[in-house]
Chains A and B, each alone.
Chain A
Amino acid sequence: MSLAIEKTKARNKELIDEVLTAYPEKTVKKRAKHLATFEDGNPDCSVKSNIKSVPGVMTIRGCAYAGSKGVVWGPIKDMIHISHGPVGCGQYSWGARRNYYIGTTGIDTFVTMQFTSDFQEKDIVFGGDKKLAKIIDEIEALFPLNKGISIQSECPIGLIGDDIEAVSRKKSKEYDGKTIVPVRCEGFRGVSQSLGHHIANDSIRDWVFDKAEDKHKEFQSTAYDVAIIGDYNIGGDAWASRILLEEMGLRVIAQWSGDGSIAELENSPKAKLNVLHCYRSMNYISRHMEEKYGIPWVEYNFFGPSKIEESLRKIASHFDDKIKEGAERVIAKYRAIVDAVIAKYKPRLQGKTVMLYVGGLRPRHVIGAYEDLGMEIVGTGYEFGHNDDYQRTTHYVKDGTLIYDDVNGHEFEKFVEKIQPDLVGAGIKEKYVFQKMGVPFRQMHSWDYSGPYHGYDGFAIFARDMDMAINNPVWGMTKAPWK
């Protein structure tokens, strides 16, 4: 082990001890389990995860509703997703995630709309089932081209004992077997967004798949059918991915769930292979399709050319030579643009250090893209990862990387202050904190309103954006010259 890594590890230990001293004793023990340094050869990152957040610490996590409505269900474009409960949850998540889609909003497409039952006190006292039934009637009258409805439960639903399943069944019968999906994603369930993903996956299994079997009989399968699972098309990510899969000769029959439609969900069990990008949020449905329909699934990573290349070959390995050749053709086709992007940006970014804190797959998946540009990840962590995420992370991070699970405002700020990375990649709540500190920042949930970042087309944008964040004249102005 090199001396530098030894030093880094010692520094990390000191840093972790330091952030822990600020806590009351009881909390020190709890938080200590979530902070560690990655040691080469370990099977995971030596942190505990998917545990309740400590109250009062300013966790960055969200809730099950955010995981279901905000992540999994919200992007399904031709369905109407009712935020069932008080007005706030739907309001704050309205249009905020940039799940791009094509469609006529308000007519046959509904992603960037906020449908809410806007609960009032009387709904809490007397229950909201009657109101829900009426809402479904009103949706059918005013938005008759919708192809399904999901009911995204907010906290009160589970607390007041509403039977949204009964309402869904009754209304589905009334409307000729229409897909109406009750989702029990109340915000207090679980410890983060993560359970919301799981609940949402299960609701697709139970309320979409089971009744989809005789729909779309005219659908003709081919040997090259795949479904993209776990790409939310943020800034067009799924499109920049789909294009590569199609170019290598595959037929993408479904997108889960960015720019996705109910028909695509229903036809997914006809895929030959599920290609899974966000493992965290959609491994559940992939496993289900494997068990029930025998569809294998493969994880891939479309951030940065090294991982894209590896992934294209991995996906192709599940198919015949035609697809394998297709993968090589795609890799060759984009080599020139990749080389040009790296030639332009790598000299500007070489050796720059990055600290990440994101959700889903990104705390590991984006590492390769940074490394393709000569940058180094010195710290990373998951908002709502599980141990299997941290196991997977070991294939990405270097010896001595600081790992922080469910990091909070206090810890993250201290870490960045001491480590002084050249770039922090996290979310909107963190963005301005670090920029005030004079540290370049990119939002790595929303791509800071840029994107796509997936695929070869996305890599060019990623490189441009990281360069504009770091090599920005504004960071030279933070200190007054007379000071």
Chain B
Amino acid sequence: MSQKSDNVLDHFNLFRGPEYTNMFENKKKNFEFPLPDEKVEEMRDYTKSWEYRTKNFAREALVVNPAKACQPLGAVFVAVGFEGTLPFVHGSQGCVAYYRSHFSRHFKEPTSCVSSSMTEDAAVFGGLNNMIDGLANAYSLYKPKMIAVSTTCMAEVIGDDLNGFIQNAKEKGSVPAGFDVPYAHTPAFVGSHITGYDNGLKGILEHFWKGKERIPNGKVNFIGGFDGYTVGNLREIKRLFGIMGVDATILADNSDVWDTPTDGQFRMYDGGTTLEDARGALNSRATISMQEFCTEKSLAYCAENGQEVVAFNHPVGVAATDRFLMEVARLSGRPVPADLEKERGRLVDAIADSTAHIHGKKFALYGDPDLTLGLTAFLLELGAEPVHILSTNGNNDWATKVQALLDGSPFGKGCHVYAGKDLWHMRSLLFTEPVDFLIGNTYGKYLERDTGTPLIRIGFPIFDRHHKHRYPVWGYQGAMNVLVTILDKIFDEMDKNSMVAAKNDYSYDIIR
């Protein structure tokens, strides 16, 4: 028996003693009817081969370990970014349990969201009654200022008419007639969570803007897009706008609701874009989106309404931040102040100090389309080679844009773009064309285990490291965070690979 009261062993060490390892062996041998070890080894080796890679890439139907989620997740992400807003997902209730868990595991924060809890009878008769009762209950229990409705695939397959249902619910008195209930159809079988972000946001903008007269002013709207760093990023953007004196409306500002204090009070709602500002955003002269692929329809809607629209691709790094700030300066008429020029200089200084360790290193990266574009540009700027760039929810337009980045840099030679592929494809890439580092979300740790490629965690979700979402990756300071994240892993690997005493620890340097 290995358990002790003075040094309690949990799953990390408890099962390593002989009483357990023998038990595992006997279980396997006597009851699992396992395949011979050689066969497993042979298969394991085979999966590392080019031949397996070819087969793997010939897949047409099966998806294994994708790096994307479904639409309503994005709609919920948007909804919680508005003042006092309760996301309401019309359809099966299990979905909402999943979204809430997913966000809570990433942000380590509560995520409030309700479901209309449709079951078999609703599948037959439609979910109208669920909408009527659901809105009434949500309104009286959680006293929201707005309820933002989206849909699960169940409601979409049976074709529930959200607009009609909401009108009907209002007539039945579920919520007051003038109460704000924007809605968006967010079928899970179209696009991904970034599509849901777009649809969710467009639904809210349409709700406030449709049929209203636009009286243009000098303000600028800002949209962050679906972003695991939303807490740190939106705060950084507000800081930058503050320094520049830009009069801006941040749309879907969820930076407070996913970062509330532990002070004895649970805040179901906190911060967020005020409904007043959401309404007034129609009058802004321009709308900036940090994530083009996440806001295609929303930006088109802004443009339709006469706003100038500018889209970035999750800008990370010197040149990308330069472009972003210059656009902000142009649109707001506020010059980039000297303070930010200094911040820029500090980032360049940091890159100059460290570039020797990054230059020529090979990276694989995956994630949402805009994030991978932003990171690719930054890696090229650092003189690194982004050898495999993969996005499960990236399309051909995305691939073309990444290719253009690669073509524009000497470090992009021999690098490849993979649209619509998953992490099992990535596994083949890492075995057949190994790289030095992998950049991706938490699920990338399975690739690290299988292929030995050290994982740098940048993306969404990050479940197994804490508080990363609090640090921005946008702005010069954000780029600094990304730089340090990458460097830390590089230095850790250097040390790990040079610490065998009397073998290779001559390189175990004190100064790097």
Q: A56-B138, A63-B92 are in contact. Are A156 and B114 (CB under 8 A)?
A: no
Interface string of B422-444 (1 = CB under 8 A from A): 00100100000000000000010
Chain B: minimal CB distance from A23 (Å): 6
A316 to B135, CA, bound (A): 54
Residue contact B44 to A87, C-beta cutoff 8 Å: no
Chain B: minimal CB distance from A235 (Å): 5
Q: Name the A residues within 8 Å of B115 (CB-CB).
A: 55-56, 58-59
Of the candidates B32, B62, B131, the one whose C-beta lies within 8 Å of that of A261 is B32
Q: Which of chain B's residues has its CB closest to A464's CB?
A: B8
Residue contact A124 to B189, C-beta cutoff 8 Å: yes
Residue contact A66 to B33, C-beta cutoff 8 Å: no
Task: Answer whether residue B102 sits at the interface, using C-beta atoms and an 8 A cutoff.
Answer: yes
Residue contact B65 to A187, C-beta cutoff 8 Å: no
Of the candidates B9, B100, B266, the one whose C-beta lies within 8 Å of that of A413 is B266
Interface string of B86-104 (1 = CB under 8 A from A): 0010011111011111101
Residue contact A216 to B33, C-beta cutoff 8 Å: yes
Residue contact B62 to A56, C-beta cutoff 8 Å: no
Residue contact A121 to B66, C-beta cutoff 8 Å: no
Residue contact A142 to B56, C-beta cutoff 8 Å: yes
Identify which of residues 425-484 in chain B touch chain A, using a CB-to-CB cut-off of 8 Å.
Answer: 427, 443, 446, 449-450
Residue contact A118 to B63, C-beta cutoff 8 Å: yes
Residue contact A236 to B15, C-beta cutoff 8 Å: yes
Residue contact B64 to A114, C-beta cutoff 8 Å: yes
A457 to B17, CA, bound (A): 12
Residue contact A94 to B443, C-beta cutoff 8 Å: yes
Task: Answer whether residue A315 sits at the interface, using C-beta atoms and an 8 A cutoff.
Answer: no
Chain B: minimal CB distance from A392 (Å): 25
Interface string of A135-162 (1 = CB under 8 A from B): 1001101101100000000111011100
Q: Name the B residues within 8 Å of A119 (CB-CB).
A: 153, 188-189
Residue contact B92 to A187, C-beta cutoff 8 Å: yes
Of the candidates B44, B91, B266, the one whose C-beta lies within 8 Å of that of A437 is B266
A242 to B133, CA, bound (A): 47
Chain A: minimal CB distance from B260 (Å): 6
Q: A86-B153, A113-B64 are in contact. Are A159 and B47 (CB under 8 A)?
A: no
Q: Name the A residues within 8 Å of B262 (CB-CB).
A: 435-436, 438, 474, 478
Q: Name the B residues within 8 Å of A409 (CB-CB).
A: 112, 142, 268
A325 to B31, CA, bound (A): 25
Residue contact A263 to B32, C-beta cutoff 8 Å: yes
A340 to B65, CA, bound (A): 45
Task: Answer whether residue B24 sits at the interface, using C-beta atoms and an 8 A cutoff.
Answer: yes
**Stretch of B117-125, B365-373, B397-405, B494-502 lying at the A interface:** B117-125
Chain A: minimal CB distance from B340 (Å): 33
Residue contact B62 to A138, C-beta cutoff 8 Å: yes
Residue contact A93 to B98, C-beta cutoff 8 Å: yes
Chain B: minimal CB distance from A214 (Å): 14
Task: Answer whether residue A60 sits at the interface, using C-beta atoms and an 8 A cutoff.
Answer: yes
Q: Name the A residues within 8 Å of B424 (CB-CB).
A: 106, 142
Q: Name the A residues within 8 Å of B102 (CB-CB).
A: 92
Task: Answer whether residue B177 sits at the interface, using C-beta atoms and an 8 A cutoff.
Answer: no
Identify which of residues 381-418 in chain A touch chain B, using a CB-to-CB cut-off of 8 Å.
Answer: 408-410, 413
Q: Name the B residues within 8 Å of A159 (CB-CB).
A: 123, 154, 157-158
Residue contact A188 to B123, C-beta cutoff 8 Å: yes
Residue contact B118 to A142, C-beta cutoff 8 Å: no
Q: A23-B140, A102-B28, A118-B63 are in contact. Are A59 and B93 (CB under 8 A)?
A: yes
Chain A: minimal CB distance from B504 (Å): 29
A100 to B20, CA, bound (A): 14
Q: A267-B31, A432-B104 are in contact. Are A337 and B1 (CB under 8 A)?
A: yes
Q: Name the A residues within 8 Å of B2 (CB-CB).
A: 457
Identify which of residues 433-483 in chain A touch chain B, using a CB-to-CB cut-off of 8 Å.
Answer: 433-438, 450-452, 456-457, 460-461, 463-464, 474, 478-480
Q: Which of chain A's residues has its CB closest to B105's CB?
A: A428
Interface string of A248-276 (1 = CB under 8 A from B): 00001111000101011001000000000
Residue contact A114 to B66, C-beta cutoff 8 Å: yes
Task: Answer whether residue A105 sits at the interface, using C-beta atoms and an 8 A cutoff.
Answer: yes
Of the candidates A61, A104, A263, A435, the one whose C-beta lies within 8 Å of that of B97 is A61
Chain A: minimal CB distance from B54 (Å): 11
Residue contact B95 to A106, C-beta cutoff 8 Å: no
A479 to B263, CA, bound (A): 6
Chain B: minimal CB distance from A237 (Å): 10
Q: Name the A residues within 8 Å of B346 (CB-CB).
A: none
Of the candidates A27, A60, A107, A142, the one whose C-beta lies within 8 Å of that of B59 is A142
Q: A92-B101, A116-B66 are in contact. Are A56 and B110 (CB under 8 A)?
A: no
- Give the A interface residue count (CB, 8 A): 124
A148 to B266, CA, bound (A): 46
Task: Answer whether residue A173 sits at the interface, using C-beta atoms and an 8 A cutoff.
Answer: no
Task: Answer whether residue B300 sits at the interface, using C-beta atoms and an 8 A cutoff.
Answer: no
Q: A61-B93, A145-B39, A188-B119 are in contact. Are A432 and B70 (CB under 8 A)?
A: no
- Give the B interface residue count (CB, 8 A): 111
Residue contact B55 to A142, C-beta cutoff 8 Å: yes
Task: Answer whether residue B228 sits at the interface, using C-beta atoms and an 8 A cutoff.
Answer: no
Residue contact A107 to B40, C-beta cutoff 8 Å: yes
Task: Answer whether residue B307 sits at the interface, using C-beta atoms and an 8 A cutoff.
Answer: no
Chain A: minimal CB distance from B78 (Å): 16
Chain B: minimal CB distance from A155 (Å): 4
Of the candidates B60, B91, B261, B446, the one whose C-beta lies within 8 Å of that of A155 is B91
A131 to B91, CA, bound (A): 25
Residue contact A123 to B189, C-beta cutoff 8 Å: yes
Q: A104-B40, A188-B122 are in contact. Are A57 and B138 (CB under 8 A)?
A: yes
A159 to B63, CA, bound (A): 22
Chain A: minimal CB distance from B245 (Å): 32
A108 to B36, CA, bound (A): 11
Q: A188-B154, A243-B19, A452-B14 are in contact. Are A24 and B137 (CB under 8 A)?
A: yes
A66 to B99, CA, bound (A): 13
A188 to B6, CA, bound (A): 48
Residue contact B65 to A92, C-beta cutoff 8 Å: no
Residue contact A139 to B62, C-beta cutoff 8 Å: yes
Q: Name the A residues within 8 Å of B88 (CB-CB).
A: 56
Chain A: minimal CB distance from B415 (Å): 26
Q: A55-B115, A91-B68 are in contact. Are A145 and B40 (CB under 8 A)?
A: yes
Task: Answer whether residue B356 sits at the interface, using C-beta atoms and an 8 A cutoff.
Answer: no
Chain A: minimal CB distance from B28 (Å): 7
Q: Name the B residues within 8 Å of A124 (CB-CB).
A: 157, 189
Q: Name the A residues within 8 Å of B122 (CB-CB).
A: 188
Residue contact A340 to B5, C-beta cutoff 8 Å: yes
Residue contact B94 to A160, C-beta cutoff 8 Å: no
Of the candidates A117, A155, A413, the one whose C-beta lies within 8 Å of that of B154 is A155
Q: A62-B93, A236-B14, A264-B31 are in contact. Are A191 and B119 (CB under 8 A)?
A: yes
Residue contact B32 to A429, C-beta cutoff 8 Å: no
Q: Which of chain B's residues has its CB closest to A431's CB?
A: B104
Identify which of residues 53-85 in chain A touch chain B, using a CB-to-CB cut-off of 8 Å.
Answer: 53-66, 78, 85
Q: A159-B158, A433-B110 are in contact. Are A57 and B137 (CB under 8 A)?
A: yes
Instruction: Name 21 interchain pairs, CB-CB below 8 A, sorted by A.
Output: A22-B141, A24-B136, A53-B117, A66-B98, A87-B69, A87-B188, A88-B98, A102-B28, A106-B446, A115-B62, A118-B66, A119-B189, A155-B152, A159-B157, A160-B157, A190-B120, A243-B19, A429-B110, A433-B266, A457-B2, A457-B9
Which 6 A-B pairs have CB atoms at the shortest separation, nearest pair first? A63-B94, A88-B70, A56-B134, A55-B134, A92-B98, A86-B188
Known A-B contacts: A66-B98, A235-B10. Give 15 more (CB < 8 A).
A53-B117, A54-B133, A56-B139, A63-B97, A88-B95, A96-B105, A119-B189, A138-B62, A145-B43, A188-B122, A263-B33, A264-B31, A410-B141, A436-B261, A438-B264
CB within 8 Å of B: which residues of A?
Answer: 22-24, 26-27, 52-66, 78, 85-89, 91-96, 100, 102, 104-108, 112-121, 123-124, 131, 134-135, 138-139, 141-142, 144-145, 154-156, 158-160, 187-191, 193, 216, 235-236, 239-240, 242-243, 246, 252-255, 259, 261, 263-264, 267, 333-334, 337, 340-341, 343-344, 408-410, 413, 427-429, 431-438, 450-452, 456-457, 460-461, 463-464, 474, 478-480
